[in-house]
Amino acid sequence: MSDLMSMLVPLAGTFPGWPAADTPTPAEALLVLFGIPGLVAVVIAVLVFAGHLARQGRGAQVHPKEPLWVGGQSGELAPARAARELTTGTGDETTGGASVRW
Amino acid sequence: VSAGELTPTQTEDLKRAVRLAEEDSELRFSLYVGPAEGEPRAHAQQLHATLTDPPTSVLVLCDPEARALEIVTGAVARRTLEDGECALAALSMKSSFEGGDIVGGLAKGLMQLGRAARVPRTLHVTPSTD
């Protein structure tokens, strides 16, 4: 039997001259065919989920109800300025910047 | 952002981004994250006017519910942080927001604004006028 042909022969038994191998029990066969791949899949899923949780902890979607100020005051208008701002509607006309919606 | 909805790490990230932007640019940065009252741009300009020094201040307003981002620069800040650079930073933040990362997008956008407004150090020696 050539090398190529030997690869095509189903491993129904032990080759002549090889040490005898025990026939696996159905439980061992199930463990090898389903148990180990399942365990690997679970480990991969846990790793992926852990990474997702880590990202979510840093960048979770935010739906605020109370505003947060960083580097500014509370946002309450001073009385004199409030009157001017509320009558003009917008702030300083010389302001610049940008706007986006998503 | 409601303080209860942000983790301490997220809050620190935002504070650090504001601090870095200010260190880079020598401008004053303020971040407001929360609901805008009425039209977001008008509200952002009103808030900007309440800051301690509006001409040198940059206000970033983000309303996640309305999906609105506004950047307001004062008259002095506008000289070093032009509208086009604000628009670029806003687009960068927008891409993060669309991916659901509000805090990360704000932090990166603030640092981008700070870098854009960075004042280069001059090595020239001022000649004496004697």
Q: What interface predicted TM-score (ipTM) does this complex get? A: 0.77
- For the residues B73-84, what does the mean pLDDT come to? 92
Q: Give how far A52 is from chain B: nearest CA, Å.
A: 12
pLDDT(B107) > 60:
yes
Amino acid A62: pLDDT: 52
Distance, in Å, from the CA atom of B45 to the CA atom of A89, rounded to the nearest integer, reads: 9
Q: Tell me the pLDDT band of A10, cut-offs 50, 70 and 90.
A: low
Amino acid B7: pLDDT: 80
Give B28's strand partners. Answer: B57
- Average pLDDT of every residue of chain A: 72
Whether A85 sits inside 8 A of B49 (CB atoms) is: yes
Name the phi and psi angles at B36, rounded to 5. Answer: -90, 140
Amino acid A91: pLDDT: 46
Distance, in Å, from the CA atom of A9 to the CA atom of A31, rounded to the nearest integer, reads: 24
Q: Tell me if B96 sits within 8 A of B4, measured CB to CB.
A: no
Contacting residues for A67 by C-beta, under 8 A, at least 6 apart: A75, B1, B32, B33, B34, B35
Whether B68 sits inside 8 A of A99 (CB atoms) is: yes
Amino acid B8: pLDDT: 81
pLDDT(B74) > 70:
yes
Distance, in Å, from the CA atom of B57 to the CA atom of B46, rounded to the nearest integer, reads: 13
Handedness of CA B4, B5, B8, B11 (dihedral sign): negative
pLDDT(A78) > 50:
no
pLDDT(A89) > 90:
no
Amino acid B41: pLDDT: 93
- B52 vs A90, which has greater pLDDT? B52
Amino acid B112: pLDDT: 93
Q: pLDDT per residue over B46-60, tens digit each?
A: 999 999 889 999 999
Lowest mean pLDDT among A26-35, B1-10, B43-52: B1-10
| DSSP letters for A28-71 | HHHIIIIIHHHHHHHHHHHHHHHHHHHHHHHH-----SS-EEES
Q: Which residues of B touch A72 (CB under 8 A)?
A: 30-32, 47, 51, 59
Q: Tell me the pLDDT band of B130, cut-offs 50, 70 and 90.
A: low
Amino acid B104: pLDDT: 93
Whether A73 sits inside 8 A of B101 (CB atoms) is: no
Q: What is the 3-state secondary structure (H, E, C) of chain B?
A: CCHHHCCHHHHHHHHHHHHHHHHHHCCEEEEEECCCCCCHHHHHHHHHHCCCCHHHEEEEEEECCCCEEEEEECCCHHHHCCHHHHHHHHHHHHHHHHCCCHHHHHHHHHHHHHHHCCCCCCCCCCCCCC
Amino acid A81: pLDDT: 44
Could you tell me how far CA A101 lies from the centroid of its own chain?
Answer: 26
pLDDT(A4) > 70:
no
- B38 vs A55, which has greater pLDDT? B38
Amino acid B48: pLDDT: 92
Distance, in Å, from the CA atom of B81 to the CA atom of B74, rounded to the nearest integer, reads: 9
Question: Which of B23, B72, B108, B112 best tests the A interface by mutation, with the highest count of A CBs <10 A?
Answer: B72
